[in-house]
Amino acid sequence: MTTASICTIGDEILIGQIIDTNSSYISRELGDAGIRVREMLSIGDDHDRIVQSLRKELENSDIVITTGGLGPTKDDITKAALAELSGSSHYVEHPGQMEMVYRILHSRGLEVLDINRQQAMVPDSCEVIVNRLGTAPIMVFRFGPERFGHQATLYSLPGVPHEALGAVADVVNDIKSHYRLDSITHRTIMVYGMAESALSKLIEAWEDALPPDMHLAYLPNQLTGVRLRLSVYGGDRQENAARIEERFSALKEILGDMVYSDGDDTLQGAIGRLLRGSGKTLSAAESCTGGEIAHLITTVSGASEYFLGSVTSYAPEIKIRVLSVSPETIDSCGIVSSGVAAAMAEGVRRLTGSTYAVATTGWADAYGDEHEPAGTVWVGVAGPAGTKTARFNYKNDRKRNIERFSASALNELRKMIESDLKA
């Protein structure tokens, strides 16, 4: 199998100023293309360390992808290291990248300085993929088998995440045209409503019956539930896709309405798909989740088509005054209760005139009251067919509880809309 190393260059990662998110993305894209990442490495802005580390990675991997070390102020170190490594004695201007440097700086109303023009100068030993999102070029160094014992390629990408990520498709295409990659077939379904360990128990028999060439991966996430991925390495793609389809059909029977998507998705994305173009609308009333549900809903582009708005009623008076929750309900049931959750959902639905409404009331912190302990949330969902409530309890810190509460609420809403569509 073709192997790769991913290397970030830059003191800012080593001293913990920045979390490296590029490597994870690059690694997933390589994996999807059938390339195995054997190592990730972060090193500082130091000429000798760069030369020595990259040489070693090129000895051990077919492909080395570096990110970072290419800003206008520290360009020199990385480029000089790459020039040394590839035996280049001089720099040449790359006209396509130079054009981008001028275009980008002019669009920002900035003058093009020498330091900027330097960015389009590259060692004469490399090929360039023009970076259309920034001023630093993507450099490709190819090494024949005489150098490291095998055909090796080094891709140098900028460190700025959207530039690095924007370059990955071009890099993968270049790899595909120079290496013979194993075929790999993936498919994903999204599941919400059960912890990873319980889920694993529930589908144990199904998983044990998988053929030996089929691999299941669990990718749990606080906000989106568990992503289940089936992969087959090698073989015919179309045939494998059909085999995966068949297995997933059986799995969906077991999981029922916990499955909310047949691809990579989020709960708010799934809700968007259900509502968009339907003429149906949505509103939210939040207490303990403090705006997170509205925030998640509005991260979906086009949410304005169905999302009318929300009320964060953090103080009890706002629940009463704005959402028309009755003080008696609060007094008799407690502020964190099924009754208040239902009244909040119904209140914001009336206030906004939406088709659906979702509401939360809970204790995100290490406090509770005589009715409910810390970590408890009551979710209310209201729609044309009535109102439902559900209770959840999580044992995390404040931030993670808010995320879990929000995701659970979105999931209850998603189930109500789906069940209405089926009815």
Binding region for a second copy (CB under 8 A): 13-21, 23-29, 31, 37-44, 49, 162, 217, 219, 281, 284, 286, 289-299, 301, 303-304, 307-315, 317-318, 321-322, 351-353, 365, 397-399, 402
CB of 315 to a second copy, least distance (A): 4
Look up residue 400 and give its two tokens.
Answer: 């993670």
Q: Which is nearer to a second copy, 313 or 337 (CB)?
A: 313
Query: What is the SS3 assignment for 115?
Result: helix
In the numeric block, the tokens 């999302």 are attached to: 307
Q: Residue 351: count other Cβ atoms within 10 Å of its Cβ.
A: 18
Nearer to a second copy (CB atom), residue 62 or residue 292: 292
Q: Helices (DSSP H) in 129-279: which residue ranges?
A: 145-148, 161-178, 196-202, 204-208, 237-255, 267-275
CA 271, CA 84: separation in Å to the nearest integer? 53
Residue (126 or 267) nearer to a second copy, CB: 267
| Beta carbon of residue 139, minimum distance to a second copy (angstroms, whole number) | 23
CB burial readout 389-400, b (16+ within 10 A) else e: bbebebeeeeee
Task: Compute the least distance from the CB of residue 399 to a second copy, in Å.
Answer: 6
d(CA 224, CA 295): 14
Report the residue number, 252 or 295, with the smaller CB distance to a second copy: 295
CA–CA gap between residue 171 and residue 157 (Å, rounded): 9
Q: Which is closer to a second copy, CB of 235 or CB of 309?
A: 309
**Shortest CB 380 distance to a second copy, Å:** 17
Minimum CB separation from a second copy for residue 153, in Å? 19
Considering the complex, state which of residue 80 and residue 322 has its C-beta at the smaller distance from a second copy. Answer: 322
Residues in Cβ contact with 235 at an 8 Å cutoff, skipping those fewer than 6 apart: 183, 185, 213
Q: Which of 411, 75, 91 is nearest to 267 (CA)?
A: 411
For residues 122 and 164, which CB has a smaller minimum distance to a second copy in the complex? 164
* Pairwise CA distance, residues 221 & 294, whole Å: 19
Minimum Å distance from CB 422 to a second copy?
28
Complete DSSP assignment for 98-112: HHHHHHHHHHTT---
- DSSP characters over 369-403: -SSS-TTEEEEEEEETTEEEEEEEE--S-HHHHHH
| Residue with Cβ nearer a second copy (85 or 293) | 293
Question: Please, what is the minimum distance in Å from the beta carbon of residue 27 to a second copy?
Answer: 4
Considering the complex, what minimum distance in angstroms separates the CB of residue 117 from a second copy? Answer: 18
Cα-only R_g, the chain: 27
By three-state DSSP, how is residue 202 classified? helix
